[in-house]
Amino acid sequence: MNNRIMIFTLAALIWGASGPALASYAEHPEAIKVADELAEEGLDRERVMLLLGDAQKQEKILELIARPAEKTLTWADYRRLFVQPDRVEQGVAFWRQHKDTLDAVEASHGVPAEMILAILGVETRYGRHKGTYRVIDALTTLGFDYPPRSKFFRGQLKELFRLEQKAGIDISEVTGSYAGAMGYPQFIPTSYIHYAIDQDNDGRIDLLGNPVDAIGSIANYFKVHGWQTGQPLVARARVRGEAWRKLIQPLDKPRTTLGAARAAGAVSVPCAESNFCFTGLADDTPIALIELEGEHGSEFWLTTNNFYVITRYNHSYLYAMAAHHLAKELTQHRGEIR
């Protein structure tokens, strides 16, 4: 029996013993392609095939990805999920524990501690909830059984195998989200490989168990994606007339300017009326106008490039807005941190 047949047989036995009576992923044509491509790069083909054979299709993952919260909830509902007193309290405690690291990263990368904390708070409650799905299961399920984005997730699956070598982790055991994100900051494999950094200089990049590396890596992600130190993110806006309607844009970089938005009837509310306001921004500052469904109907917001950077972390206006609002809540406690 040659090695490939032996691996397929073993994988099928594993699948049959612990999963439904379906073919092993190790026998899937696209999985075989993945293994062949990785083998050409020098990865151990037998290990790749064994892990693919052991991977389990998760129907729950397919259900979840078909109805993500970002597409089914209003802004009012989404905010209630992520901007809560206990999440703020946990963030303040985490801030105290890692103050020196957060201070150093803020100074070196220009990303405020509150913003880094907000990402950790929204993603995993500061490491308390990192996900329960095996990442190998999530990425095989989505890579081979979710046609709308199978190519993307197969790419992530390949990066997961590469990550095992780079980060020195056992990917047969790593757990994370239903979409294959992992660790304190919930990086997908490509983000882990390209943006994670060894913040504590211990010779290992560890986002799974090291909050210090996670703090530095979030800041690095933002910096690489164009974060501008000191730039505000959003302002509540009032609209009048009809010209502003042409400024409402889908998720993308800001397409207009603050001055053009004002001329079209979209104006930032005064800071005396809202903590979400602009001060000192030039009229030529790139701006996007967005509309969200709040507690009392439509809310209008003017957003800057920094807000767009947050949407590179998670491609959702709701996510970016929740992270910013949580950061605002945390900012009120900056003076307490010693």
What are the DSSP E strand ranges found in the chain? 133-134, 175-176, 234-239, 256-257, 266-268, 286-294, 297-303
- Tell me if the pTM is above 0.95: no
Q: Quick: pLDDT tens for 300-312.
A: 999 999 999 999 9
Are the beta carbons of 53 and 8 closer than 8 angstroms?
Answer: yes
Are the beta carbons of 333 and 324 closer than 8 angstroms?
Answer: no
Question: How far is Cα 278 from Cα 289, in angstroms, rounded to an integer?
Answer: 14
Domain residue extents for the chain: 1-56, 234-303
30 is annotated as an active-site residue: no
Question: How far is Cα 218 from Cα 319, in angstroms, rounded to an integer?
Answer: 15
Q: Residue 327 CB: number of other CB atoms within 10 A?
A: 23
* Helical packing angle, 135-145 and 45-54, nearest 10°: 80
Ranges of residues in the chain whose predicted pLDDT is under 70: 1-23
pLDDT at position 338 is: 79
pLDDT at position 71 is: 78
From the list 106, 114, 123, 329, the catalytic residue is: 123
Are the beta carbons of 111 and 73 closer than 8 angstroms?
Answer: no
pLDDT at position 165 is: 84
pLDDT at position 115 is: 98
CA angle at 203 for the pair 198 and 204, rounded to the nearest 5°:
60
